[in-house]
Amino acid sequence: MAKQVHIGKTDLVVNPIGLGTNAVGGHNLFPNLDENAGRELVRTGLANGINFLDTAFIYGPKRSEEMIGEVVKESGKRSEIVIATKAAHKFAGNEIVVDNSPAFLEQAVDEALQRLQTDYIDLFYIHFPDKDTPKDEAVGALQQLRNEGKIRAIGVSNFSIEQLKEANKDGYVDVYQGEYNLLAREAEKELFPYVINNGISFIPYFPLASGLLTGKYDKNTNLDEKRGKFFKKDLFEATLEKIERIRKIANDKGAEVAHVVLAWYLTREAIDVIIPGAKRSEQVLHNLKTLDIQLTETEIQEIDQIFNS
Ligand SMILES: NC(=O)c1ccc[n+]([C@@H]2O[C@H](COP(=O)([O-])OP(=O)(O)OC[C@H]3O[C@@H](n4cnc5c(N)ncnc54)[C@H](OP(=O)(O)O)[C@@H]3O)[C@@H](O)[C@H]2O)c1
């Protein structure tokens, strides 16, 4: 069994390589998703040591949670799997709005429990901040749900540093999920020091910069066919050069670019676990190989510098 780690100060113990499942049923986020491939990649992960799944109401919406619920149930291993989900979005007519009110969060947890076919959620996040709700009140509502046994740990995502401080006034926040990768390192400035000092675990999203940091693209890639901010021409081209330097480190270790990139995140003090996403089972298996490599102190610093220049 792979080494297991605690997520921050929680009693959640997991393989440090988890699985992001926004492409499992996330039809509103990605075109032409194949649900069978989605179910299969979750099964593959579970069969190969992954025990931490990250989903959300808005992936689908609802469909990702439903599919995770199905696959976890069929596995018969609910008690061995740590499920994280998130909510805050709600439909207001045709619009989707964000609501952090205690009443809505309670309702959102109850509805997520149904879709996930479970009676507790291991880690529940407020997915995005709203404008009006005091953040300590929102988290206070989650603490109440923790006391009732409906959730085991509390997370917030996409909060500013000020919102995080307000949310954590009573020390109830266990996990912060935010964007972080070698191309987007803003979180290092204020969020990392705060989470480290307050026993909060930082879980980075977009760790592979939507696939760019796997090293699978080159100068012939047709960027018109790629969606997302990491595929803007200037950033893309500058990143290809840096990736070639990472490839050299990877080659020397008999590994591949994605493994070196993912392993580097696990050397950050603020980070205990990562949740790379996947669209196919092979990608899940590939990302798990990260656990086979160990970066030296010199390599860690070199990677830092390559992406700081
Ligand atoms: N809290 C939030 O607001 C928030 C926001 C975004 C994401 N998230 C969470 O964070 C997770 C991770 O983010 P993400 O999935 O959007 O981005 P990511 O992890 O940076 O990239 C995942 C994508 O990279 C490609 N990929 C993954 N492994 C690969 C491999 N070994 N070889 C080649 N390509 C590979 C796949 O896309 P292709 O096959 O299309 O290249 C996959 O869908 C999500 O799944 C979600 O659970 C949270």
| Helices 233-252 and 297-306: angle between axes, nearest 10 degrees | 160
Cβ neighbours around 163 below 10 Å, total: 17
Has residue 309 got a pLDDT over 80?
no
Q: For residue 211, which atom of ligand 1 is closest to its CA?
A: 24
What CATH number does residue 15 fall under?
A: 3.20.20.100
Asked if the structure places residue 241 within a domain, the reply is no
Cβ–ligand 1 distance for 42 under 6 Å, the answer no
Asked if the structure places residue 306 within a domain, the reply is no
Cβ–ligand 1 distance for 206 under 6 Å, the answer yes
Number of domains in the chain: 1
Q: pLDDT category, 270, cuts 50, 70, 90? A: very high
Q: Considering only CA atoms, which residue is closest to atom 39 of ligand 1?
A: 279
Cβ–ligand 1 distance for 54 under 6 Å, the answer yes
Q: Is 149 left (phi over 0), alpha (psi -120 to 50) or beta?
A: left
Instruction: Give the pLDDT of residue 2.
Output: 75
Cβ–ligand 1 distance for 286 under 6 Å, the answer yes
Asked if the structure places residue 103 within a domain, the reply is yes
Q: Which of 205, 230, 260, 271 to mutate to test the pocket of ligand 1 (most atoms within 8 A of CB)?
A: 205
Asked if the structure places residue 77 within a domain, the reply is yes
Residue 150 near residue 123 (C-beta atoms within 8 A): no
Asked if the structure places residue 239 within a domain, the reply is no
Q: Could you tell me the pTM of the whole model?
A: 0.98
Structural domain range at position 112: 5-213+258-295
Asked if the structure places residue 235 within a domain, the reply is no
Asked if the structure places residue 289 within a domain, the reply is yes
Query: Ligand 1 centroid vs 13 CA: distance in angstroms?
Result: 22
Q: Considering only CA atoms, which residue is closest to atom 32 of ligand 1?
A: 283
Instruction: Give the pLDDT of residue 227.
Output: 82
- Residue 140 host element (H or E): helix 135-147
CA distance 88 to 103: 11
Residue 211 contacts by C-beta under 8 Å, 6 or more apart in sequence?
217
Average of per-residue pLDDT values in the chain: 97
Asked if the structure places residue 226 within a domain, the reply is no
Cβ–ligand 1 distance for 85 under 6 Å, the answer no
CA atoms within 13 A on the CB side of 130: 21
Task: For residues 176-205, give the mean pLDDT.
Answer: 98
**Tens of pLDDT, residues 32-42:** 999 999 999 99
CA distance 293 to 253: 8
